[in-house]
Amino acid sequence: MNRLQVHVQGVGVYGPGLSGWAQTADVLAGRQPLVMAPINLPPAEALPPAERRRAGVSIKLAFAAGFDAVRHAGADPATLRSVFTSSGGDCDNCHAILETLASSDRAVSPTRFHNSVHNAPSGYWSIAAACRATSTSLSAYDGSFAAGLLEAATQVLSSGESCLLLAYDSPYPVPLGALRGIPYPFGVGLVLTAAPTAGALAMLDLSLGRQAPSRMADGPLEAMRSGVPAARSLSLLQTLAQGRQERMSLEYLDGMSLDVEVHAAA
């Protein structure tokens, strides 16, 4: 694979004890401690009331991180390509549908069926942002963040247009949670551009390798990184928050890694 170089224009983050990029950057840069607390998600911004009532955790999570990243970048969400990536999609909805199918009354509600498709968040995003730009939804198990970053970078460089990457995961209820143990919700958004712009945080140089995933020195942050597929982004986010130059490896597929060289903006 040829090396891919893209620029980070904006970041958004929501997770346990993390509410938006400004506060998250202070935690990752060591300016304030991480205080683990239940995630506090705002309503699904800009959706009409009917769609907002249908929005589950995965949609709210994607929206919270997405609009945070767009505001940080000073970008117009109506013009951005997007890549949505999640290891499991709407886990609560999946659980509810399976519970219904296992009952005597197997009639699945139209709303649950509507939200069961993996690209439901991207559809709701297009409504909320009045966005008609191309959108891709994908999943790659624990490598979902790296797969999404690779896809978004490829789209940026092939089209010359900016792209919003959204990675998000939430826990499965019992009993599925016993088999796929995601401890809490986590979402991250990145606005990527082909050329450096005013206020850009860093340039990312991407290549494929076979390195072990980079780990974090802080115990709670490492537990979050290793426990939630979307939080595999945390080592990259910490480097962005600290404004450092660093090379790291993100978990990808079949023993491969996505290697990232971060070059902080001058």
Mean pLDDT of 65-94: 93
- Say if 249 falls within a structural domain: no
Mean pLDDT of 11-39: 96
- Say if 207 falls within a structural domain: no
CATH number at residue 235: 3.40.47.10
Q: Could you tell me how far CA 193 lies from the centroid of its own chain?
A: 17
Residue 243 backbone class (left: φ over 0; alpha: ψ -120 to 50; beta: rest): left
Q: Which residues sit opposite 8 in a β-bridge?
A: 192, 202
Instruction: Return the residue matching tokens 């082909």.
Output: 194
| Distance in angstroms (rounded) separating the CA atoms of residues 31 and 200 | 21
Per-residue pLDDT, 46: 82
Per-residue pLDDT, 214: 96
Among 26-30, 173-177, 199-203, the range scoring the smallest mean pLDDT is: 173-177
Instruction: Return the residue matching tokens 């009917």.
Output: 50
Among 35-39, 108-112, 259-263, the range scoring the smallest mean pLDDT is: 108-112
- Say if 192 falls within a structural domain: yes
DSSP label at residue 143: G
Per-residue pLDDT, 70: 97
| Distance in angstroms (rounded) separating the CA atoms of residues 228 and 37 | 16
| Distance in angstroms (rounded) separating the CA atoms of residues 190 and 174 | 31
Which tokens belong to 187?
Answer: 């979402």
Instruction: Return the residue matching tokens 């595999």.
Output: 232
Per-residue pLDDT, 1: 60
Domain, as residue range, for 52: 10-200+215-244
Per-residue pLDDT, 42: 86
How many C-beta neighbours within 10 Å does residue 231 have? 29
- Say if 255 falls within a structural domain: no
- Say if 178 falls within a structural domain: yes
Per-residue pLDDT, 80: 97
Secondary structure E strands in 135-224: 135-138, 163-169, 186-193, 202-209
CB 250 within 8 A of CB 194: no
- Say if 233 falls within a structural domain: yes
Number of domains making up the chain: 1
Per-residue pLDDT, 244: 93
- Say if 39 falls within a structural domain: yes
Mean pLDDT of 255-265: 95
Among 76-85, 121-130, 235-244, the range scoring the smallest mean pLDDT is: 121-130
- Say if 125 falls within a structural domain: yes
- Span 216-234, pLDDT tens digits: 999 999 999 999 999 999 9
